[in-house]
Amino acid sequence: MVALFSILFLPGAGSEPPASSPPVTLIRCGTLIDGVSAVPRKDVLLRIEGNRITSLSTSKRAVSHEPAARTIELSTATCLPGLIDVHVHLIKEDPQRRELQTPPESLSAENLLRTLRYGFTTVRNLGAGRLGQSDIDVRNAVADGSIPGPRLKIAICCETKDRNFGVKGPTELRAAVDRLVDEGSDWIKLYGTVAGPPPGVSDAENKLQYSEEELSAIVDEAHKKGVKVAMHTIGALDSHRAIASGVDSIEHGVDIEDADLKRMKDRGITFVPTLFVISYVATAPGRNDNAMWADRMKRSLDTFERALKAKVKIAFGTDAPAQNWTSDPVQQFQMMVSHGMPPMEAIQSATMEGARLLGMEKQIGSIEVGKLADIVAVQGDPLADVSRLEHVMFVMKDGQSIDFNQK
């Protein structure tokens, strides 16, 4: 991909700064959507020292007197905070190689780099199937720079074909939560129903995984350990039980009754509608269940529209899968906007709202002084045409520009 920005060096760039001084980068943004303000700003100069944002100037005439600073010219572009996808499954076995996915040439590494180039600088990976703890290895490999990709929050999940912890009863489930947290899981991920449903069984009739007592025990134990809980729900009863138990986020939430949307609003529970993947599966060729998924899509959009009216917190999550995946999940922005979400709110769902859900709002989610330098840029105005976000031209994560041409 040909980069649509230029990196210029000011006079004196040949002189190295003192070894103790972190490198300084200046970014000139034609327009800045900072992730928190209601309206964008024009002609903003960002100063980055190391991996942190140290100043923002809105003066078009602002000039830095730092001869060793690197300047990135984005004066014809719109800059935004690095995007956050809070529901992905990027770490899986390679169907050809079947090894843990930590080598740089692995399928997981391909997925992570692709995701980063799409503009996502942070993601929450909600389970790696049978690989279990290997997602911890991948998370750590990204953190230490061995694999390029978005920073990862992970949930170790799930250990059986029915996508549960393999034990029953409140006491045993509390112990399972303790073990997962001790092994390094950042989140606890639950499935409200068994994998399925089987043919002839509706989402509303699918078998529930846990009793109400068990759900409450899992959530309570996770919160005692300082870890949040995400729950996959489809049917209305499934969603109701999750909300009643006090989970922190509802994933998919195809069916949620109005009364439960109000409870979500009152309790601060975040809704993560994965419209991208439901639409993707509903139209995928070669499947015999497209009608079921098309019906789920219709119900999902209805729930999404009602959640907007109820002012439920919504975070951007796509369920982007690991295999046979080349579509840009940023397409979900268009779906959200076309069904009633204002473009600025849609962007904030993938910036500050995602950061708040992850408990990282002091580090990421907005372009503000003191935060990590996670920045993306697009040509044009994504508030006028949100599809502009599908054509990210520049990505910076942790103060480092991402090479779009590297294999």
- Give the residue numbers spanning the domain of 47: 6-81+367-401
> Per residue in 40-76, pLDDT tens?
999 999 999 999 999 999 866 555 567 789 999 999 9
Asked if 106 and 92 count as a contact pair (C-beta separation under 8 A), the reply is: no
Q: What percent of the chain has pLDDT over 70?
A: 84
Residue-wise pLDDT tens digits, 91-116: 865 444 334 344 444 667 888 999 99
CATH at residue 14: 2.30.40.10
Query: Are 152 and 42 part of one and the same domain?
Result: no
Q: Are residues 288 and 185 in the same domain?
A: yes
Task: State the average pLDDT over residues 381-392.
Answer: 98
Secondary structure (DSSP) of 104-162: TTSHHHHHHHHHHHTTEEEEEE---GGGTTHHHHHHHHHHTTSS-S-EEEEB----STT
200 and 280 part of one domain: yes
One domain, residues 271 and 380: no
Q: Could you report the per-residue pLDDT of 219-235, keeping only the tens digit for each?
A: 999 999 999 999 999 99
Same domain, 339 and 204: yes
Question: Percent helix, strand, coil in the chain (nearest 5)?
Answer: 30, 25, 45
Structural element, H or E, at residue 53: strand 52-57
Are 49 and 169 in a shared domain?
no
Domain count, the chain: 2
Residue 207 pLDDT: 81
Assigned domain for 143 exists: yes
Task: Tell me the pTM.
Answer: 0.91
Tell me, yes or no, whether 107 and 77 share the same domain. Answer: no
